[in-house]
Structure 1
Amino acid sequence: MYVETQEEEPEIKLPLPRVGITNLKTVAKINWRGRVYTFIPTFEVTIDLTERKKGIHMSRLIESITEALSEAVEEEVKKIHTSLEDLGLAVIRRIEKKHHHQRAEVWIKTTLILEKETPTSKKVSYEPYDVEVGIIKEKGNIQKVLKVKVIGNTACPHAMANNQGRTHIQRAIGELEIRTNFEEEIPLEDMIEVVESSFSSPTYTLLKTSDENAVVRRMYENPKFVEDVAREILAKAREKFKGRIHVRVISNESIHKHDVIAEAWA
């Protein structure tokens, strides 16, 4: 018989809203629209802890992740989890059976690799995008948070207007976050497209000379401040998605020692 020290009363009787595990790396397969993606995600899973208990049973959280992943491996491909948020909800459903709580959160960070076509040579380029999905259950209500981080570039319109058409260019990073009801279907690919299409030009892993020329021309034909990029992302996201929207754009300045930022909520 083991002693369940977690069930004892703590000396300091205060509730803790988030207790659990973080930085747990594993492997997951997702069947998104008939195509199976393999991810190496990082999990953070937490629940609330009352003032009456000393601790939570951490192994039960890890068991919930393992069981949800094992189910997907053992089942037929068509029964694999259909999205990262579907996997997150599966973990929460297992926690419900193992650990008493009022609030639970599952956060999954990973990299989504998408096939893109280069501008002129039409080569296939595999592009990485950092994504994060959060599932939050509180008193029976389930919400999800979807985040994407996209690298693009900008050409400064101010320098262009004051330097006979010449300007400085820089890499920019756009982040889009949407908090919405779990039932709302919002593909991460669509969020990535909203951000990527708002830069002066997209960036590519693979570029032949003709593609490089096309990217540079596009940047000069489409100069933007970081503020322009943030506003465009926000406008497109409000038109396309339902939920609370957060936009953050950072420009890694090429002629300054600092970076610049634009941020907005809707």
Structure 2
Amino acid sequence: MSVTTSQPLADLQSSHDPRDIAINKVGIRRLRYPLTLLQRGAGPTVTAALVNMYVSLDGSFKGTHMSRFVEVLNEFRDALDINNLRTVLARMKEHLEAADAYLELEFPLFFARPAPVTGQVGLQAYDCAITASLDATDHLRTKSTVVVPVTTLCPCSKEISDYGAHNQRSMVTLQWRSRRPIWLEEMIELVESQASCPVFPLLKRPDEKWVTERAYENPKFVEDMVRDLTAKLREDERLTWYRVESENEESIHAHNCFALVEETPER
């Protein structure tokens, strides 16, 4: 069915707003959309992202044009790449006639993890995010996030017990800004290297024995987790800012344990 109008439809969003109050961010949230990821050693792969898009709005305009955000995404349907966000943000500024543009992507990253003894391979999923903004001077600012599940074993439990020690799954969130792109996989592996033991998607009995003994030999408080990881991050000259959070889903306590370190290193 075709719809025709004898007169142009009113563009209410472009009309004048007498309150003259500028809005920092206005746009769309939680749009699910395909995203191309260039994975280390695996080439480009496609995942599904939750997308948030915003622009700044001058105080003289009543509103923004929400449909234009999706139009911009559709222009990059075959090439929405986390390493090409400047182009997307610049197009948002142009198409929505805005001074500032913001893009937030949340997505799962999968890669193959072999078991430590048997070598059986499973797919491990990690929650990741990229946020980017392009301001009125075309300065690009990006932040990357990985959320990594690990195992931590309680040093106090090990110290005071005649045998055994309690352990738990810990969720470590690492955020960073850097002078040049860093593989998400590289930062995931860095987090896992500082835990009592990584989490694996597929374990047979010989692997479970290895994991149990590895964690027991490498106990970590939540404080140890963030401090040891921070010590490694301080050695990385590529980083201009980072934030490390670790939260233990305690197995014998009614509460979780949490620690955080945030630093802007002087280079």
Q: Same fold (TM over 0.5)?
A: yes
Which of the numbers 155, 160, 166 marks the counterpart of 2:153?
155
| RMSD over aligned Cα atoms | 1.5
d(CA) in 2 for partners of 1:16, 1:93: 19
Contact 2:147 2:171 in 1 (8 A): yes
d(CA) in 2 for partners of 1:178, 1:191: 10
Which ranges of structure 2 fall in alignment gaps of 5 or more residues?
A: 1-7
Equivalence for 2:12: 5
d(CA) in 2 for partners of 1:104, 1:235: 34
Contact 2:150 2:199 in 1 (8 A): yes
Contact 2:93 2:100 in 1 (8 A): no
d(CA) in 2 for partners of 1:224, 1:143: 34
Which ranges of structure 1 fall in alignment gaps of 5 or more residues?
A: 73-80
Equivalence for 2:213: 217
The structure richer in helix per residue is 1
Equivalence for 2:43: 35
Contact 2:196 2:218 in 1 (8 A): yes
Equivalence for 2:116: 119
Which of the numbers 46, 56, 63 marks the counterpart of 1:48?
56
Whether 1:228 and 2:186 are equivalent positions in the alignment is no
Bigger-Rg structure (1/2):
2
Alpha-carbon distance, 1:247 to partner: 0.6
Alpha-carbon distance, 1:203 to partner: 0.6
Query: Which 4+ stretches in 1 moved above 4 angstroms?
Result: none
How many residues of Structure 1 are paired with residues of Structure 2 in the alignment?
Answer: 253
Q: Which residue identity lines up with residue 168 of structure 1 in the other structure?
A: H
Contact 1:68 1:90 in 2 (8 A): no
Alpha-carbon distance, 1:245 to partner: 0.5
d(CA) in 1 for partners of 2:256, 2:35: 36
d(CA) in 2 for partners of 1:54, 1:207: 57
Equivalence for 2:235: 239
Q: Which region of structure 1 is more displaced relative to structure 2, 236-245 or 147-156?
A: 236-245
- What are the equivalent positions in structure 2 for 1:25-174 lying under 5 Å apart? 25-32=32-39, 35-70=43-78, 72=79, 83-86=81-84, 88-138=85-135, 139-174=137-172
d(CA) in 1 for partners of 2:168, 2:60: 54
d(CA) in 1 for partners of 2:161, 2:44: 50
When normalised by structure 2's length, the TM-score is 0.90
d(CA) in 2 for partners of 1:29, 1:173: 26
Q: Percent identity, please.
A: 29
Contact 1:64 1:92 in 2 (8 A): no
d(CA) in 2 for partners of 1:84, 1:136: 13
Contact 1:43 1:106 in 2 (8 A): yes
Contact 1:238 1:245 in 2 (8 A): no
Equivalence for 1:76: none
For residues 51-99 of structure 1, give each alpha carbon's deviation from its aligned partner in whole angstroms, at most 9, with x where no partner exists: 10110011111111111124x3xxxxxxxx6x5242x333213213212
